[in-house]
Each structure stands twice: as C-alpha cells, then as structure tokens.
Amino acid sequence: MKKISTCLYMPHEIEIEQISENRVKIFAYPFQSGFAITVAHPLRRLLYGSSAGYAVTSLRIDGVTHEFDSIKGMLEDVSLFILNLKKIRFKMKNDSKKVEVSFSFNGPKEIVGADLCNDDIDVVTPEFHLATINEDAELNFSLIIEKGIGYIPSEDLRDNVPEGYIGVDAFFTPVRKAIYSIENMLVEDDPTYEKIVFEIETDGQIPPVQAFKESIEALNDQIAIFGKAMDIDVSSPEDDFDNSVDMRKLVQSVNEMNLSARSFNCLDRANIRYVAELSIMSELELKSLKNLGKKSFEEITSKLESIGFPVGSDFDEDFLKALNKNIQELKAQLEEE
C-alpha cells in the first residue's frame, strides 16, 4: 500500500568510483520515482555545455595565406594540419584565459602534441600526431589558445582573429562523454525508488569530478533567479555546511555505529536517530539520558571519537542551524515511512 507523503524523500547517498584518471562513475540515491531523470538530464546537458576548457581559436603559419594552402616539405596540407591541431588538447599552466605561443621546427621530424609543451601551456594529449616534415622543411607557426565553454565555429570568431591568422573552430568542452542510467532500488519494501549512475570522461584538461561539480554549480546558479524573484532560498543544502566536514558521517544512522543492544535501545527510546544528534550533545546531556549507564556512555563516546565527531563537537551557528534542519527533514521522512 502506498503511503501518503507530505514532503519529497531526500536522497542522501553518493559514491564515486574512479575507473581511470579521466573517467569516473558517480552513484546518487535514493530518489523518489520519476525524480532521478529530473535531476540527471539537466546535469548531463550542463556537463557538456558549462564545463570550461581550452582550444585553439586562430593559427598563423609562415608563408600560408589560407587554410587550403600547402607547405613545401610537409606531408600534410594546411587543412589536414588544422584537423590534427583540433585533436590536440591544451591546458594553461598559469590559469590564463588567453595566450599566444609560437613554435619553430626543422626536419626531418614527426611533430606530436608533446612537442608543443612550453612554459605557458601543457598538452594533455601528448601522443597525438600533428605533422611530418622532411629534411629540407622548416615549419614556423603561432597559435592563439583561449579558455571557453561549448563550441564556437570559426565563422563566429572572425571578428576576433588577428590579421594574418586563420580562424579555427573552437571545441572548448573538456567532457568527452557524459551518460547516465537510472536503476530501480528497494527502500523500505518499496521497489520504485531510483538510483542515478553517471559515467563521465574528460580529455584530461580537468578531472571528471571537477566537471561534475561545475555542472552542479551552474545548475544552482541558473535556478537562483527564481529564488531571488520569489524570496526562496534555492541554495544547495551543501552550501550551508563547512566543506571540511564529512556530512555523510553526521547524517549516518546510529544503526550503523554497531552499538550494543543496550546502548542502541537507550538512544532509540530517546528518539535519537543520527550521529549528528549525539555529536552536538554535551557530555552532561548524554549522561542524562534515561537508563544510559557508564559502560554505554563510554561505548558511545568511543564510537563517536572513532568517527571523528566526539561528544560536544563545536560547530558554528549557521552550520548548526542547517544541520538541525537536515536532521528534522530526515526524521520526518522516517515517520512517513
């Protein structure tokens, strides 16, 4: 039988599986039926559309006037050179938004991404092929590399291309792949709850977890306009918390503390359900709990210390207010279930 709810179930579990340096899986759960896709779809779009990366926006090659030209002694023509250049992914060493770099190569040589590293830029695709020049060739070229989001065709960059340079289609997005799947899961005998599984891969310009964080920030920023207009606090609950605090441990159920039956029953009778409730109590308040003996007191305080939140933990006022609000919401959900 479906129960009547007065508020949404708040997902509270998140896991990150590092598959490789530039690829992760992120699991978030449990969501009420239908809400997983509501969250996942816009985040996927923002992963592609809001993640900032670096790309070549214009190119100048000595002796070349247009992209359909050719260079004596170079195997590739200029159009193929540009195509190869687009595959090479750069990263600024000093977090600049724009940089101009120049290169000079003498043959015979196969030029790859690693050959373009210097004091200003790094290349995260060092093995990618750029050009092959013979023993008589000399290749001199300059690049303008800029930071941006999304994709901008060269036609739209025409007004910003310096004289003597060739505009290049700029694919800034560092996210190569962002897909999600939604799985059903069982919560309190209800099999309709959902889990989101994100798989994110970047090209190495930024870590995938950073790209995910930036997409969440972008989503919050976009929604904030409604909060300003209607006087609603649309900030994420995480915004109210100290980033140095592991909130998952604080909202952990006392069931997961592996307490003895005597200690657990005492807390249960006092309606204490979460670690946070214990950590904000003073020693005197904890000792005053009905039927809590000395051994139970010592067991609970020892467990709290091992978790990292001993009895009497000192939190600032704003954090404490947000924490209490979160605990009350979790308790309300338990009562409805």
Instruction: With respect to residue 287, please indicate whether it lies within any of the assigned structural domains.
Output: yes
Residue 1: is its pLDDT beyond 70?
A: no
Q: Are residues 188 and 261 in the same domain?
A: no
Lowest mean pLDDT among 79-83, 93-97, 139-143: 93-97
Question: Alpha-carbon dihedral of residues 125, 127, 133, 138, nearest 10 degrees?
Answer: 50
The whole-angstrom distance between residue 154's C-alpha and the CA centroid of its chain comes to: 29
Rg (CA), the chain: 28
Q: Are residues 291 and 159 in the same domain?
A: no
Q: Are residues 65 and 211 in the same domain?
A: no
Contact partners, residue 284, CB within 8 Å, separation at least 6: none
Q: How many domains does the chain have?
A: 3
What pLDDT score does 6 carry?
Answer: 67
DSSP class of residue 226?
H
Question: Using 50, 70 and 90 to split pLDDT, how confident is the model at 243?
Answer: very low
* pLDDT per position as a tens digit, 267-294: 988 888 888 888 888 888 888 888 888 8
Sign of the four-CA dihedral 73, 78, 83, 88: positive
Q: Are residues 229 and 258 in the same domain?
A: no
Average confidence (pLDDT) over 295-311 = 87
Instruction: With respect to residue 2, please indicate whether it lies within any of the assigned structural domains.
Output: no
Instruction: With respect to residue 126, please indicate whether it lies within any of the assigned structural domains.
Output: yes
- 92 by Cβ neighbours in 10 Å (0-12 / 13-18 / 19+) ranks as middle
Domain hosting 322: range is: 247-336
Instruction: With respect to residue 1, please indicate whether it lies within any of the assigned structural domains.
Output: no
The whole-angstrom distance between residue 284's C-alpha and the CA centroid of its chain comes to: 42
Average confidence (pLDDT) over 113-140 = 94
Instruction: With respect to residue 197, please indicate whether it lies within any of the assigned structural domains.
Output: yes
Lowest mean pLDDT among 1-5, 48-52, 175-179: 1-5
* pLDDT per position as a tens digit, 49-79: 999 999 999 999 999 988 899 999 999 999 9
C-alpha distances (whole Å) from 193 to each of 32, 183, 236, 296, 330 are 5, 8, 22, 36, 16
Average confidence (pLDDT) over 312-321 = 74
Specify the CATH number for the domain of residue 192: 3.30.1360.10
Residues pairing with 178 in the sheet:
200
Please state, in angstroms and rounded to a whole number, the distance separating the CA atoms of residues 44 and 200: 9
What pLDDT score does 241 carry?
Answer: 40
| Closest of 264, 244, 246 to residue 255, by C-alpha | 264
What pLDDT score does 322 carry?
Answer: 72
Specify the CATH number for the domain of residue 135: 2.170.120.12
Q: Are residues 189 and 45 in the same domain?
A: yes
Question: Using 50, 70 and 90 to split pLDDT, how confident is the model at 36?
Answer: very high
Q: Are residues 161 and 82 in the same domain?
A: yes
The whole-angstrom distance between residue 139's C-alpha and the CA centroid of its chain comes to: 40
Residue 223: is its pLDDT beyond 90?
A: no
Average confidence (pLDDT) over 24-37 = 93
- Ramachandran bin of 204, using left for φ above 0, alpha for ψ from -120 to 50, beta for the remaining angles: left
Q: Are residues 72 and 43 in the same domain?
A: no
Contact partners, residue 156, CB within 8 Å, separation at least 6: none
Average confidence (pLDDT) over 304-328 = 77
Residue whose pair of structure tokens reads 């996927």 in the numeric block: 44
Question: Using 50, 70 and 90 to split pLDDT, how confident is the model at 202?
Answer: very high
| Closest of 152, 206, 170 to residue 85, by C-alpha | 170
Instruction: With respect to residue 8, please indicate whether it lies within any of the assigned structural domains.
Output: no
- 173 by Cβ neighbours in 10 Å (0-12 / 13-18 / 19+) ranks as buried
Residue 4: is its pLDDT beyond 70?
A: no
Q: Are residues 204 and 252 in the same domain?
A: no
